[in-house]
Amino acid sequence: MISTHILDTSCGKPASGVHVKLFDAHTHTLIGQGHTDADGRLKDFVTTKHVLTTGAYQLEYDILPYFQARQQDTFFPKVCLQFYIANLNEHYHIPLLMSPYAYSTYRGS
């Protein structure tokens, strides 16, 4: 399973309503997409049409509309994160900590 969580560190709150897409990094095939919930979470991207395999994947976060709705400028309109799935039995949680002019990430649990 692949999930994500976005925190807006400029206000210390979850970033809700952010559109996030999951792609196969090699073919750029869209695997799944959704919007973060009120807690800034998107719990699972994978649709029943796609079976995860080992390999590289990419999450694309469309953060410009989030900041525009708050009347804030942002230097990063999108954040694209590539990661590698080595073990299909593990949960891959990718948190994004963002602000208008910076972001960071890590492998969560």
Q: Which domains does the chain have, with CATH numbers?
A: 2-105 (2.60.40.180)
Q: What does the radius of gyration of the chain's CA atoms come to, in whole angstroms?
A: 14
Residue 16: what pLDDT?
Answer: 97
Q: What are phi and psi of 72, to 5 degrees?
A: -120, 140
Query: CA–CA separation, 59 vs 44, rounded Å?
Result: 12
Say what the pLDDT of residue 48 is: 62
Displacement of CA 94 from its chain's centroid (Å)? 7
pLDDT, position 47? 65
Q: Which helix (H) or strand (E) holds 10?
A: none
Per-residue pLDDT tens listing for the chain (109 residues): 899 999 999 999 999 999 999 999 999 999 999 999 999 999 987 666 778 899 999 999 999 999 999 999 999 999 999 999 999 999 999 999 999 999 999 999 8
